[in-house]
Structure formats: structure tokens, C-alpha cells
DNA sequence: ATTGAAATATGTTCGTA
DNA sequence: TACGAACATATTTCAAT
């Protein structure tokens, strides 16, 4: 994989291929080939190159958590005690399956996390019985996402 | 798709299938079949059912933005003027490709967005020349993600 | 719900341009 | 880099259980 200060060069055909697959990872290569007018073998070869460059980091099925009854998403800003080693807190947070993201951040908080819960009561349980119990976590600020309006990847 | 207060029932085999495909959307169904010991046709049928239930909302290739030189991720809390209609602000925000997520939130802000930029200077440009120019946006608070430690989907 | 088999479509490799 | 042909796999459908 390329280092972060050395951008990979991709041309228009690479972009077309990527745009198709970012929309639908299971779109057949041959279908893409017919769409953009080059052979399947050529696309295959380009994909191998793109994978080798590290630009493609994999593919995922996307699950709709609402269908499983998970309807409450929230961001939580976390203040850590000065004495607390951040990696330890992160390790504890990663054991909580409701925690989907965790960022070290500039600004007020040490850490910003995203959590996904079934409902507000479940969120309260996760906060009071799990997150607040982690050593070094003193105070938290919770922002419930009432509605997510935009959710996308980088524009290629 | 099921309504949000009526959870879909999935059994252990569904979970196994989903776990494989959430890891790698292009994993062949037949390979999964060999792994969990049922026929490909059975998995095919279960996947059709899961899609019909709305639990699977699609699949995506995951792009590593760092390889394209996008290394600065930030969350921005946005205060909107009372007079401002939120949907208008969201429509303007969605025109900015650097804005990857947008949530209506409880708490201090009206809106919380996630942006991805090449570097701090690019972030500053997006803030000062695009976001701050949107009508109704009075003040913003920026939290730069120094490092993302957790990034995952719901645990099935 | 699951199976195996048949038909169709796709993935993959390779020699050549 | 791209191509087409050849081969290996996978997807999809279906009758039967």
C-alpha cells in the first residue's frame, strides 16, 4: 500500500469501475465490462492493480440495523482522566458491541464514539452500566442522531 | 421491509451467512456453503429471503481514502439559526462532496456532520468557503479525528 | 427448508497484440 | 494495457423430498 503522502494515480476507467463496485460490490465484472466497453479481462487486471495499491480495502454487505430493531444511534464525547492511558479505554470500548466507531479527537473530548442501540433505554444501559464503568472515563456528552440524512463514501 | 418496531427473525445459519458476507461481499455463495455445510441452493434461497426482509440493504466496495491523499477526517457540530429550515441546510451540505455523513442531533447542535479532506488546509477551505457560507449556519465546532480505532457494523 | 442436477453466467488465466 | 479464447467456478432455477 502506498504511503499516505503519495497518492495513487487512477484514470477515468478505474474510476468508472470503482463507482460501479462502490454501489454494488457484487456487480459482475463482465456486466461492468459491457457497460463501459472494455473486456472483462482488462477490468480484472485493473482491479488487481487497484487492490495491490491498497485503494480497495475490501467489500462488505451492508446490514440495515433498523430491521433488527436497532433504531437509536448516538455520538458520545468522552472525557478521560489525565492519568488514563487512552489505549486502555479504547480496548474496553471495543469490547462493547454497541460501539461501532471510536476516534481520538482534538477539542473538548479525548474520544468520540458512535454507538448503535435498540432504543433510548438500551442506550442508557450501555452508558450507565458499561461506558461509565470504564476506568478513566469521567464524563460523557451524548448526542442522539434523530435522523441520518447523508451517508456515503468519498467521491471518486 | 419490516417496520422498525417489528424485528425480523433470523436463525443461526442466517447469521453465519451474513457474517461471511459482511466481511467480504464477494465471497462466493458456494464457498460459504462448503464452510457451513449446507447446499448452495439453500443459501441462495435464504439470501433472497433476507434481501426481501430489508435486512440486507446492499453491498459496497470499501475505498481507502488515505491512498487517494485524503487523510483529515473531522466531525463538525453545526448551529443553525432558528429561522433556518433544516432541510435546506442539509440540501446545501449534500452538495459538498467532502461531507460524508449528516445527522440531525439532540443536544447543542442542530446538525452533526462528518467530513473527509485531504489535509488541514483543505478542511479549512471547506469550512470557511463552503460550510460557513450556507445560509442559516451561524457557528460550527470542529473535532478532528486524529485516529480512528474502531470501525465496524452491528454485531450479528 | 433443503437437496442435487442442469443450464446459464461469471471468474480467471494465458498467449498474443 | 487490452484482447479473445479456453477452462474453472459460481449463480440460478427447478423438480423432488
Quick check: B64 and A70 CB within 8 A?
A: no
- The reported pLDDT for the residue numbered A6 is 59
Residue B33 has pLDDT above 50, yes or no: yes
Residue recorded with cell 478505474: A14
Question: How far is B68 from B119, CA to CA, in rounded Å?
Answer: 12
Q: Scanning the structure block, which residue is given the C-alpha cell 477490468?
A: A43
Tens digits of per-residue pLDDT, A7-38?
A: 789 999 999 999 999 999 999 999 999 999 99
In this prediction, residues A44-58 reach a mean pLDDT of: 98
Chain A residue nearest residue B77, CA to CA: A143
B57 CA: distance to closest CA in chain A (Å): 6
Q: Over 60: is that where the pLDDT of B2 sits?
A: no
Strand D lies under 7 A from the Cβ of residue A27: no
Predicted confidence at residue B3, as pLDDT, reads 46
- Chain B residues in contact with A99 by the CB 8 A cut-off are 150
Mean pLDDT, residues B73-79: 98
Task: Note the pTM of the prediction, 2 decimals.
Answer: 0.96
Structural domains of chain B sorted by starting position, each given as residue range(s) with its CATH number in brackets: 9-53 (1.10.10.10), 65-145 (3.30.70.920)
Percentage with pLDDT > 90 across chain A = 91
- Tell me the pairing of strands B56-63 and A111-117: unpaired
Judge whether residue A3 has pLDDT over 50: no
Q: Mention every residue, 6+ apart, whose C-beta is less than 8 A from residue A112.
A: A75, A76, A77, A78, A102, A103, A105, B75, B143, B145
Q: Do B63 and A23 touch (CB under 8 A)?
A: no
Among candidates A57, A64, A103 on the partner chain, residue whose Cβ is nearest the Cβ of B148? A103
- Is nucleic acid strand C under 7 Å from B8's C-beta? no
Q: What is the pLDDT of residues A73-94, one digit of tens each?
A: 999 999 999 877 799 999 999 9
- A vs B, Cβ pairs < 8 A, gives 228
Amino acid at each position: 500500500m502506498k504511503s499516505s503522502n503519495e497518492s495513487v494515480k487512477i484514470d477515468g476507467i478505474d474510476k468508472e469501475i470503482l463507482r460501479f463496485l462502490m454501489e454494488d460490490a457484487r456487480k459482475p465484472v463482465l456486466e461492468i465490462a459491457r457497460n463501459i466497453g472494455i473486456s472483462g479481462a482488462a477490468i480484472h487486471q485493473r482491479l488487481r492493480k487497484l487492490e495491490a495499491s491498497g485503494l480497495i480495502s475490501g467489500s462488505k454487505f451492508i446490514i440495515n440495523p433498523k430491521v433488527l430493531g436497532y433504531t437509536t444511534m448516538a455520538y458520545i464525547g468522552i472525557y478521560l482522566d489525565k492519568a488514563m492511558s487512552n489505549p486502555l479505554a479504547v480496548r474496553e470500548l471495543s469490547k462493547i458491541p454497541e460501539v461501532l466507531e471510536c476516534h481520538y479527537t482534538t477539542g473538548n473530548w479525548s474520544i468520540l464514539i458512535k454507538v448503535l442501540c435498540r432504543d433510548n433505554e438500551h442506550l442508557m444501559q450501555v452508558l450507565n452500566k458499561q461506558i461509565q464503568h470504564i476506568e478513566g472515563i469521567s464524563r460523557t456528552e451524548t448526542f442522539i442522531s434523530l435522523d441520518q440524512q447523508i451517508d456515503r463514501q468519498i467521491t471518486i
